[in-house]
A and B are shown apart, each in its own frame.
Chain A
């Protein structure tokens, strides 16, 4: 462009440069618009099918709509109440009226279930109270409520109700790090029979770390071998890596059960070799889970390592060797640092994928091998405690996100692309 303007008469140049700039700017905008239009459909599609659902799920981890939705007027009055003395007649009246209105509806059941979650026994209190509402002619709401159950005479019951009648709550997120609110609303450690999630998260990280370590241990030599062989042999070896990679996870899980079961091939072999005289328990415990997970994730480790190692020129190693550096030392000092990007990319990828595993531990493990995903599924399906499922999801999601960001930093977009191949 500068060349172009240099050849022009000075007077014309300034005018033309401006219009040229404008034209170029317009062309650039057009191009952005055109190619932006190519990206937009996918962006919108993922927004609707992926980003929106996940955001909604994350929001659900702090949502607390049940009580406030069922008893809006009562909740509003309770939020102004000082919590000291018994609430005034207005609260009783609003509560009695609203309970009468929602009697026999899913709204009442939802609120009762939510309160029962905090304090077992509250479900039946709510159901029983609703059945006695609205108050009979001439009976004050206060008397009618206390008649239905005398717990309504106790300010503590109302304080409990008030605490749970807020639009948002931190209780699910707190519960997923083994914390809870006490009577005074202070954050305290949860009871021993509920405090498992820190352990579960530690277990999720621990199992992922062990699987990653084994994948590295088994994958590195193979990737190295493939990278140092002539293309023909390397391609054949690659088939051995890719075939399991392409085989359905469920097929491989089924195969490992067949191999590892009490009378399975592995036990038969071990007994024939005299290693053991009775069948070992190899599946439906941690052994089975680790074996299968390492098997499933190994290709994800080998492929990125291989693609980096393939690009390492053998001349450096040769130089080091010819200069008298011992083979192991020259490998460690010269080769390994060059292979490190592939190693860290593979390890992070395996670790990230491993953290989200659900199917393999569910089918091959005992309750003691279940990771965070299992508890998300449990709360979603079994006890329909979607707040808890959302809170555990949020923690798992954030952990994955952080590692994923590290991963993209590390490998750059380019390698994320080549990894798929």
Chain B
């Protein structure tokens, strides 16, 4: 690189770059936004690359951590450049109510009966079932933790903890650790006293928590020895194990599972292609490849049947993993999410 500022060179480079970029963005290409890292890598293998092969249209990948601000701004400006988005359930419902996401026409995707009933919603179709589990580094701990109560036990399991920076699931785990039964968690959290109780429980381990934001950080923190235990997405730990980090272990007790869904922002000029992509990615054979890459459960019932037997026990939907697990309460988080996230943020910053 020459950095002597001749006025001509940067212009020439810029011009050439602009040309190549323009050439790379043909009409049928779509932008798909997902939760980066290994999840996105698995999507590339299972959905993007086969889709490009089948249709000739390229996929521009983007990643985010679920923030809806950009989508809201784009939809409000009627200038939408994101065509398909992976969203978590509360954001999907809220976005659907606020008119951010298209009401889906399932005739263009596949028969509703093919999917797990809960994966079919007004504005979204489930991509996979994922779960938040307790993960730990077995090299760093003398004994194996077995529950969220152990996560809070600093005496028996000394060391730093990792948790996702946010109220969602953090508050649930705190109540579980405090002895609340999974079926009562959301009833408890709906009251002011219940929320206070959760934060009070979190206060016990607050100085020992390293907060993470991107899903890829959790296995990183564990492997680097920065934390000994963390909440983590099951798929991220499983892929880390596959890459040779055998000392990372999962505890499935009282894990919380949910769907991630495809949604189409209102006003995308490439709605037809977006539908085409979602229909393609929802096919059982593609969902099967995805589950093989990262052990998240398929939403297409036919896809579930195809999944390799060796992978089944790693999926959140496996019977032994479902025992004691509970579903994230979407309606609760739609109603209280903004309020609790702001309170959480205030609490964390203290």
Residues of A that sit less than 8 Å from B by CB: 105-106, 108-110, 112-113, 116-117, 120-121, 123-124, 127, 193-194, 196, 199-200, 261-263, 284, 366-368, 370, 375, 378, 380-385
Taking CB atoms, residues of chain B closer than 8 Å to A106 are 98-100
Could you say which residues of chain B place their CB within 8 Å of the CB of A109?
94, 97-99
Question: Are the CB atoms of B338 and A383 closer together than 8 Å?
Answer: yes
List of B residues within 8 angstroms of A196 by Cβ: 346, 349-350
Main secondary structure of the interface of A (DSSP, over half): helix
Q: Is the CB of B99 within 8 A of A194?
A: no
Query: Which 6 residue pairs across A and B have the least CB separation, nearest first?
Result: A106-B99, A109-B98, A367-B348, A381-B67, A196-B346, A381-B69
- B226 at interface (Cβ–Cβ under 8 A)? yes
A196 to B341, CA, bound (A): 14
Does B343 contact A110, Cβ atoms closer than 8 Å?
no
Q: Is the CB of A193 within 8 A of B338?
A: no
Give Cα distance in the complex from A385 to B341, angstroms: 11
B69's partner among A199, A262, A366, A380 (CB-CB below 8 A) is: A380
CA distance A416 to B67 in the complex (A): 39
Contact A366 B72 (CB under 8 A): no
- By the criterion CB–CB under 8 Å, are B97 and A385 in contact? no
Cα separation A261 to B220 with both chains bound (whole Å): 13
Q: A110-B98, A262-B226, A384-B72 are in contact. List 19 more A-B contacts (CB 8 A).
A: A109-B99, A112-B97, A116-B338, A120-B335, A120-B336, A127-B97, A194-B342, A196-B346, A262-B225, A366-B210, A366-B211, A367-B165, A367-B348, A378-B345, A381-B67, A381-B70, A382-B67, A382-B341, A383-B342
Main secondary structure of the interface of B (DSSP, over half): helix
Residues in B neighbouring A117, C-beta threshold 8 A: 338-339
Please give the distance in Å from A109's CB to the nearest CB on chain B: 4
Q: How many interface residues does chain B have, given as a range?
A: 20 to 34
Cβ of B68 within 8 Å of any chain A Cβ, yes or no, is: yes
Residues in A with CB closer than 8 Å to B342 are 194, 383, 385
Q: Given A113-B98, A384-B72: A194 and B346 within 8 A (CB)?
A: yes
Closest-CB distance, B72 to chain A (whole angstroms): 6
- Cβ of B350 and Cβ of A199 under 8 Å apart? yes
Determine the chain B residues whose CB is within 8 A of the CB of A382 once the complex forms. 67, 69, 341, 345
Chain B: minimal CB distance from A317 (Å)? 42
Chain A residue with Cβ nearest B342 = A383
Question: What B residues does A262 contact at CB under 8 A?
Answer: 224-226
Cβ-closest chain B residue relative to A123: B335
User: For the complex, what is the distance from the CA of A105 to the CA of B98, rounded to whole Å?
Assistant: 7
B230 to chain A, nearest CB (A): 14
What are 6 A-B residue pairs whose CB atoms fall within 8 Å in the complex?
A: A106-B99, A109-B98, A124-B335, A193-B199, A284-B226, A384-B69
